[in-house]
Amino acid sequence: MRIVRDQVTVCVPASSANLGPGFDAIGLALEIRDEITVRAITGATRVSVEGEGAGRVMKDEDNLVVQSLRLGLETVGAPQIGIEMHCLNRIPHGRGLGSSSAAIVSGLAAASALVEPGALPADKIFQLATKLEGHPDNAAPAVYGGAVVGWIEPANPRDPQQAGESRAFALPFPIHSEVKVTVLIPDFQLATSKARGLLPEFVPHRDAVFTAGRAALLPLALSAHPELLFYATQDRLHQEYRREGMPASLELVDYLRAQNYPAAVSGAGPTVIVFSHLPVALRQGLEHKGWRVLSPAVAGTGIITS
């Protein structure tokens, strides 16, 4: 497999996963994009970072985008190259907006753009990204854009214990024109690993049944019945268990829902997503308390390459 381009630019959107009850399964791409420019060079890898994470993320072979790019090249049997990379990061890190998925998908997409066309298609990028992430809810919208339901099947669905490669799947669904999004981003981070560590091994059956019903309703509310989004964003599976890790976020969800706003934790948090635009006074009040308030459009496209 040959390297056919010596420079590429890739843009990948942020994503909000779970959206309340769609735990590890439902995700939404948002028009907040990271942009990376990669140039093939001779010599050691050099990375520069502008925006989110500048001064904190790795600038060598340990950079997550670089590691993902190298995985992509390895997957298609292309030669490893020296890399000069500039990252313009707009997706906040550690806030539940899919920054790690965006980094992984960016690296894989850059590898795809550097090699012969068709060698590393979007579906293969999605498979690799899901394997690295462990679940498809952020990877799918980062790759494909829009709203997506994702899941993982074992190699043999009739015998999940049988050895073999599992496969990830993703199905898009439309977003109703009346659906608006606001994200409320705090000034603190919460590692996904810590958020997952707060989850119990078992939940009451009644809570599982309740959340399954709301998860089934969520794509219908987003695509055709936005008036039902308040109900469709209810969750009893994960959010309350994570309260001690992000009390301010859950207090804000409680406050907004008490005013009939369809609010939920974005991904593992601590960002809060609201399926509504907020009044100016409310936005200003939240900004005064330290929340960054953004109203991104739903990103209809995932990977953009030039």
pLDDT in tens, 190-216: 888 888 899 999 999 999 999 999 999
According to the annotation, is 262 in a ligand binding site?
A: no
pLDDT in tens, 18-53: 999 999 999 999 999 999 999 999 888 999 999 999
* Residue 105 pLDDT greater than 80, yes or no: yes
Position 43 scores a pLDDT of 87
Position 183 scores a pLDDT of 98
According to the annotation, is 128 in a ligand binding site?
A: no
Position 162 scores a pLDDT of 61
According to the annotation, is 98 in a ligand binding site?
A: yes
Position 226 scores a pLDDT of 98
Query: What is the rounded CA–CA span in Å between residue 274 and residue 263?
Result: 4
* Residue 222 pLDDT greater than 90, yes or no: yes
Position 165 scores a pLDDT of 79
Adjacency order of strands within the sheet including 292-294: 263-265, 272-274, 182-185, 292-294
What is the distance, to the nearest Å, from the Cα of residue 259 to the centroid of all Cα atoms in its chain?
27
Position 158 scores a pLDDT of 64
Position 100 scores a pLDDT of 96
Position 155 scores a pLDDT of 72
Contact between 292 and 190 (Cβ < 8 Å): no
Domains of the chain: 7-171+299-305 (3.30.230.10), 182-294 (3.30.70.890)
pLDDT grade for 166, boundaries at 50, 70 and 90: confident
pLDDT grade for 66, boundaries at 50, 70 and 90: very high
Bigger pLDDT: 164 or 129? 129
pLDDT in tens, 245-256: 999 999 999 999
pLDDT in tens, 6-21: 999 999 999 999 999 9
According to the annotation, is 95 in a ligand binding site?
A: yes
According to the annotation, is 96 in a ligand binding site?
A: yes
Q: What is the mean pLDDT of the chain?
A: 95
One DSSP character per residue, the chain reads --B--SEEEEEEEEEEEETTTEEEEEEEEEEEEEEEEEEEESSS-EEEEEETTTTTS--STTSHHHHHHHHHHHHHTPPP-EEEEEEEE-SPTTSSS-HHHHHHHHHHHHHHHHBSTTSS-HHHHHHHHHHHHSSSTTHHHHHH-SEEEEEEE-SSTT-TTS-S--EEEEEEE---TT---EEEE-SS---HHHHHHTS-S---HHHHHHHHHHHHHHHHHHHT-GGGHHHHT--SSSTGGGGGG-HHHHHHHHHHHHTT--EEE-TTSS-EEESSPPPHHHHHHHHHTT-EEE-PPB-S---EE-
- pTM tops 0.85: yes
Position 280 scores a pLDDT of 97
Position 159 scores a pLDDT of 65
According to the annotation, is 99 in a ligand binding site?
A: yes
pLDDT grade for 156, boundaries at 50, 70 and 90: low
According to the annotation, is 112 in a ligand binding site?
A: no
According to the annotation, is 93 in a ligand binding site?
A: yes
According to the annotation, is 77 in a ligand binding site?
A: no
Mean pLDDT of 223-230: 98
* Residue 124 pLDDT greater than 80, yes or no: yes
